[in-house]
Structure 1
Amino acid sequence: MKAFTIILMLGCMFQAFPQQQKTYFDSQLGKHLRSYKAKSEIAIQNGDKEQAQFLFDSLFENHLKFSHIKNISLNKIKGGTLKTASIDKPFLLITKSSWEIIKDEEINEINRMSKMYKGQIDIIILFWDSKIKAKAHSKNYNSSITITYVDERDNNASHIIKPFKHSFGAPACFFISEEKQLLKIDRKFTISNSNNRSEVAFSAMHEKIKWMLFNDKPIDNSIITTLK
């Protein structure tokens, strides 16, 4: 009788404090992206950059931040498949287009990050193009960085990965926690050496990575924005 009473009490506790339901990045985009894009396009047409930034901040903070990323399967240029569910640490997913001119200083800084945070974070670069073109771009990255590609001409391309391009384009950088939650988005990821911006950009990335690694909760509400 006593055991039954305990079980009954535990059952009541679980009903009183239900576990928080997970929200997922792709489903949140499905609900909110169309409205965001419509309003954002109006702001851009009006030349109102502050409003465009405000709309993105609102979308991210209210709907995308801490949303969960479903398992993504990516083709590696060295062969085989990378499944994000198997990654046991935080990671950066940097998306690129093969027609983008990727400057040497950006590659050098990404290589520097991979060495500085080796064993703490994984860096994945995703090229939206064929394996041949992605491989041509990959030769200067060091071996700590995983280079992947998605050829959208292939009908087998996962519907789970496509929102990463069609929502915010490329280049972009998604900061994803060990628990597979989205922490930050850099919508215009680029590192340039003009006016010493390479070091400024690296310092900004460094601060976000430190936040990602060493803080259980956000210390502020800042997010990475376009570096111009």
Structure 2
Amino acid sequence: MKKIYFLLCFVTISTFASSTDTIAVFSASVKSNFKKYVSLSNKAYTTKNYEKAESLFDSLVENSLKGTHFDDFSFKRLGKSRIQLSAIDKPILLVTYSSWCIMGKGEIPALNQIAKEYKDKMQIVVVFWNKKSEMKKIARNFDSDIMVCYANDTEQKDLKAISFLKRTFGFPTSYLIDENMELVDIQKNFVKPENKVNMKKSLDFYYNKFNSGLTSLIVNDGFDTTRMAGN
């Protein structure tokens, strides 16, 4: 099995978690379960048991986080006003990055293609853990159908999202959220070595990586799940 390396940032979560009478809240579930996960995961990585580390992450998501009510985080948009996730009336693919992370050459084109194909069915939101000045250049590469946002430690309104997303699951990471703000899945976006991979292969790789998770986000007869790499 190929080794997959994730960029993870493990710290103590200090932000308070909200609660609801009807469904567990994402941040509360993270706060309750993440400390144990980090302990076990760190042991797995220390012994280079990457398969175990991956299974621990999958177990955390499957048993503790899926089905929780995703917090109504807000983010600053490039050139526009701040947006609350609850204001988006479609399923959301939330992808987090940082400007200094090296993206695959086909990663942004793949997201742009998916955004165009399914713009009436879902909304892609890309969040950079950066200041505006640090992400403006790369943000220009995203299609206008993608909502490009940013968040950083200097903004009080960003601190909760930073605590429960950036400082827990690291980046790049994808969060699939349905139209009722229920968390459908979390996927770590592993980096694939691409030194000799051409644009077509890279585009197909990332298209299928993102597209594979969308079948659980959108139930629609017109949703395309048949495109495979190389087609």
Same fold, TM-score > 0.5, yes or no: yes
TM alignment of 1:1-228, pairs within 5 A: 21-188=22-189, 194=197, 196-214=201-219
The one-letter code matched in structure 2 to 1:214 is V
Q: Higher mean Cα deviation, 65-74 or 37-46?
A: 65-74
Q: Higher mean Cα deviation, 20-29 or 68-77?
A: 20-29
CA distance in 1, matches of 2:175, 2:188: 8
Distance 1:213 1:41, change over 3 A: same
SS in 2 for 1:211: coil
The one-letter code matched in structure 2 to 1:168 is F
CA distance in 1, matches of 2:32, 2:153: 23
How many pairs are equivalent?
197
Give the Å deviation of 1:160: 4.2
Q: What is the match of residue 227 of structure 2? A: none
Identity of aligned residues (%): 28
SS in 1 for 2:147: strand
Deviations for 1:130-189, whole angstroms, at most 9, x for unmatched residues?
Answer: 011121111111110111000113344241453111111011111111111111111125
Give the Å deviation of 1:62: 0.9
CA distance in 2, matches of 1:156, 1:84: 13
Q: Is the 8 A contact 1:96 1:127 kept in 2?
A: yes
Q: Is the 8 A contact 1:77 1:134 kept in 2?
A: no
Give the Å deviation of 1:190: 5.1
CA distance in 2, matches of 1:36, 1:149: 27
* Higher fraction of helix: 1
CA distance in 1, matches of 2:157, 2:22: 30
Q: Deviating runs (4+, > 6 A) in structure 1?
A: none
Give the Å deviation of 1:201: 3.3
Greater C-alpha radius of gyration: 1
- Greater RCO (CA < 8 Å, at least 6 residues apart): 2
CA distance in 2, matches of 1:39, 1:154: 32
SS in 2 for 1:102: coil
SS in 1 for 2:169: coil
CA distance in 2, matches of 1:89, 1:76: 18
Q: Is the 8 A contact 1:106 1:190 kept in 2?
A: no
CA distance in 2, matches of 1:131, 1:213: 31
Give the Å deviation of 1:21: 2.5
TM-score between both structures, scaled by the size of structure 1: 0.80
CA distance in 1, matches of 2:47, 2:191: 25
